[in-house]
Structure 1
Amino acid sequence: MRMPLSDFLANGDLKFVIILFLFLSIAIYYFVKKIINKEQQERLNLKMNKLVTWSIFMSAFSLMLGLLHSFYFISKVNGIANNLLFGGLANVIITPTLGIIIAMIIKLLSTPISSKK
């Protein structure tokens, strides 16, 4: 059984999801700019590579923050059902997974465009 895409996007930490999609939007803007102006390709590729790095950092930070919150609330309950534990941990992993996917897309967009002469 697979998790529906709407559940995948809705169960992530909203602030990190918004930031990651903002990074993707900026990368698409730089990609379009790179196609239009091939002389600035190197500078725009460097900017997109920075977005890849920040996407990975945000993914790791969201993972750590999610785990911190999950274990904090588990400790407050003094025992928890396995289905709640695994459901919570599954939601913790959603945002980092999205961040890695966005980082891979941005990395693909930052590959140099070869000019045909």
Structure 2
Amino acid sequence: MRMPFTEFITHGDLKFVISFAIFFMVSIYHFFKKLTVKNNTDKDLVAYHNSRINIAANWILILAVLSLLLGFMHSFYFVGKAGGVAPNLIFTGVSYALITPVLGVALHIICKTLKAINKKSIKS
């Protein structure tokens, strides 16, 4: 049995998902700016846009790790408040704690891919 996609999206921590979206939009913006460079001989401008994509990707990864740690803290806090160890409480909390980091790592991989793409690889 798999977690439904709508439940996967809606149970992520909203503040981290919004932060991921902002940094992902920054990397998309710099990716398209990199593609609009007139020629690839302007290495400084391409390097500038690649560095901005890299910075956004790194922030997404840092926030994904932070969301993982906060999610585990939140989950184990409520396990402690419950006064007992219920397997369904632990597994549900851990599965919800993993939603946002999985999204963050996926966006990090996409951003790193955008950094690697250049005009030459698109024309070939």
TM-score (norm 1): 0.92
Percent of aligned pairs with the same amino acid: 40
Q: Determine helix, strand or coil for the equivalent of 2:98.
A: helix
Structure 2, unaligned stretches of length 5 or more? none
Q: Counterparts in 2 of 1:24-103, with a 5 A limit?
A: 24-37=24-37, 38=40, 39=42, 40-103=45-108
> Structure 2 CA distance, aligned partners of 1:80 and 1:11?
22
- Residue 62 of structure 1: how far off its partner (Å): 0.4
How many residues are aligned here?
Answer: 116
**Does 2:114 match 1:109?**
yes
| Structure 2 counterpart of 1:32, one-letter code | F
Instruction: Give, as a single letter, the amino acid of the residue that structure 1 aligns with 2:89.
Output: L
| Relative contact order higher in (CA < 8 Å, ≥ 6 apart) | 1
Alignment check: 8 A CA contact 2:72 2:97 kept: yes
Q: Distance in 2 between matches of 1:2 and 1:32?
A: 36
Q: CA deviation at 1:23?
A: 1.1
What amino acid does structure 2 have at the position aligned with 1:6?
A: T
Separation in 1 of the partners of 2:12 and 2:99? 5
- Counterpart of 1:11 in structure 2 is 11
In the TM superposition, structure 1's runs of 4+ consecutive aligned residues that sit over 6 Å from their partners are none
Paired with 1:4 and 1:26, the residues of 2 have a C-alpha distance of 29
CA distance in 1, matches of 2:10, 2:104: 14
- Give the CA deviation at 1:60: 0.5
- How far, CA to CA, are the matches of 2:117 and 2:109 in structure 1? 15
**Structure 1 residue identity aligned to 2:54:** N
C-alpha contact (below 8 Å) 1:56/1:99 kept by paired residues: yes
Check the 8 A contact 2:24/2:57 in 1, yes or no: no
**Root-mean-square deviation (Å):** 1.4
Distance in structure 1 (CA, Å) of the matches to 2:3 and 2:46: 38
Q: Provide TM-score, normalisation by structure 2.
A: 0.87
**Alpha-carbon distance, 1:96 to partner:** 0.5
